């Protein structure tokens, strides 16, 4: 019984994060690094708040101050993480544009990866203590709740793990969209509103658990979670639309700009290539001019592709030899 309860709690608290991790992050090592650093940054924030908790002794009984302080630290650290990554990302993208490579990091996926790092950090630190107790022989109930406290805590952990993903990606995407160059004078204020909503929701949800830490607060938690998910989806759609706009603008610009420069650039590379090759090249050129991020798995699935393609190549080769 205890083992099954332990497994249940484990799956409840970790499954959404693991699903996100397996789906998006594991196959891309860049995203892996990002999520690793996300976890690191979250731990930095919790260390800062725990040091304050340790030093200021009256807080040890009143959790409200602990919550507020840790909320502030988390958001600040998240913002720092965004700043750092933004710097790194722009330089990387600049480089890849210099090299005419399209190995950009997908921004949406990157923000989700960072969020998953935050979420994992959160669940690993805050929930493992509870999980190790679940294996013990007894269960824990309080008078307030009809639920086992372990299960309740697992649900909290699940919600907060997911929430960390959402907070992080909302912050990243909204700040990015806000600071972007204005396109046709679109109103940008709504992104600030999104950001504000997500940050406030963080504070609210932490405080809700103080008021009534039982199923009612769990319900509220999940309602807010659903609302935030809708917000995030909207934000992602907005980001994609902006990208499309950007792409269209760029395309127009390129059509208007002279084609001669391009040809000069090509001539260096195409010198020794045949016509077929140059056609291919040009196709790829146009692909590169796409600033779409949809090409997620381009080179990190190469390992698999290599094997597949090797087989294909061998087949083709045989045909040709015959």
Partner 1 sequence: MTESNTTEPLNENKNKKEISDQSEENKEQVQEKGKEKGKGKTTENKNEKTIVKEPKISMYWFVRVFARKLRNVLVPVTLTMLLVIVLIKITNQNSDTTDQFSQILIYHESSSDSNSKKFGGSLLNAVVIVGVVLVMTVFLVFLIKYNCWKIIWGWLFLSCFWLLLVFGALKMIDVCENLNLAVDWITLAFLDFNFAVVGVIVIFWHGPLKSNQIYTILMCGLVAVYLTTLPTWTTWVLLALIALYDIFVVLSPKGPLKILVEESMKNDKPIPGLIYSSIIYLFSARIKPKNSGSSSSSELNSNFNPISSPSSDSGSGSGSGSGSNNVNSLKEESSHLEKGESELEKDVENDNTLAEDNYNEKSSLLQNEERKKRRLLARRKRRRKKRFEEESGVKLGGGDLIFYSVLIGKAAYFDYETIFTCWIAILVGLAVTLFFLAVYAKALPALPISIAFGMIFFFLTKIILVPMVKQLGVDSVMT
Q: Residue 221, exposed/middle/buried by CB under 10 A (0-12, 13-18, 19+)?
A: buried
Q: Which one of 1-9, 77-85, 145-153, 172-180 is the stretch in contact with partner 1 (CB under 8 A)?
A: 145-153
Q: Is 156 in the site for partner 1 (CB under 8 A)?
A: yes
| Residues in region 285-304 near partner 1 by CB under 8 A | 288, 300, 302-303
Determine which residue in the list 5, 103, 180, 251 makes contact with partner 1, applying CB under 8 A. Answer: 103
Helix axes 29-55, 63-98, angle to 10 degrees: 150
| Residues in region 72-101 near partner 1 by CB under 8 A | 74, 91-92, 95-96, 98-101
Cα gap 208→229, rounded to integer Å: 19
Token reading at 15? 């499954």
Question: If we measure between CA atoms, which residue out of 194, 195, 218, 199 comes closest to residue 208?
Answer: 218
Between 68 and 240, CB nearer to partner 1: 68
Q: How far is the CB of 32 from partner 1 (least distance, A)?
A: 6
Q: Is 57 in the site for partner 1 (CB under 8 A)?
A: no
Q: Is 317 in the site for partner 1 (CB under 8 A)?
A: yes
SS3 content of the chain, % helix, strand, coil (to 5): 80, 0, 20
Cα gap 142→79, rounded to integer Å: 38
| Residues in region 167-206 near partner 1 by CB under 8 A | 206
Token reading at 279? 């056609």
Size of the site for partner 1 (CB under 8 A): 75
Determine which residue in the list 10, 18, 125, 229 makes contact with partner 1, applying CB under 8 A. Answer: 125
| Residues in region 229-288 near partner 1 by CB under 8 A | 268-269, 271-274, 277, 280-281, 284, 288
């Amino acid at each position: 019984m205890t083992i099954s309860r332990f497994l249940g709690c484990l799956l409840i608290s970790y499954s959404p994060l693991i699903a996100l991790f397996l789906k998006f992050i594991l196959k891309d090592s860049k995203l892996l690094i990002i999520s690793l650093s996300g976890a690191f940054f979250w731990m930095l924030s919790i260390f800062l708040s725990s040091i304050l908790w340790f030093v200021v002794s009256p807080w040890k009984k009143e959790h409200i101050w602990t919550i507020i302080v840790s909320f502030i630290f988390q958001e600040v650290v998240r913002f720092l993480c965004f700043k750092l990554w933004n710097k790194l990302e722009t330089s990387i993208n600049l480089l890849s544009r210099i090299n005419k490579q399209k190995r950009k990091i997908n921004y949406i996926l990157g923000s989700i990866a960072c969020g998953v790092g935050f979420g994992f950090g959160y669940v690993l630190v805050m929930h493992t203590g509870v999980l190790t107790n679940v294996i013990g022989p007894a269960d824990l109930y309080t008078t307030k709740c009809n639920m086992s406290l372990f299960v309740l805590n697992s649900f909290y952990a699940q919600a907060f793990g997911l929430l960390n993903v959402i907070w992080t990606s909302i912050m990243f995407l909204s700040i990015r969209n806000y600071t972007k160059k204005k396109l046709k004078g679109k109103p940008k204020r709504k992104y600030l509103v999104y950001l504000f909503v997500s940050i406030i929701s963080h504070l609210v949800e932490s405080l809700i658990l103080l008021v009534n830490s039982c199923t009612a607060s769990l319900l509220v938690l999940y309602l807010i979670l659903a609302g935030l998910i809708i917000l995030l989806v909207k934000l992602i759609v907005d980001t994609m639309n902006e990208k499309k706009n950007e792409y269209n603008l760029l395309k127009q610009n390129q059509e208007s700009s002279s084609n001669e420069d391009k040809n000069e650039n090509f001539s260096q590379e195409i010198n020794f290539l045949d016509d077929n090759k140059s056609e291919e090249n040009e196709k790829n050129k146009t692909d590169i001019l796409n600033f779409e991020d949809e090409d997620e798995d381009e080179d990190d699935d190469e390992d698999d592709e290599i094997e597949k393609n090797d087989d294909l190549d061998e087949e083709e080769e045989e045909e040709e030899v015959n």
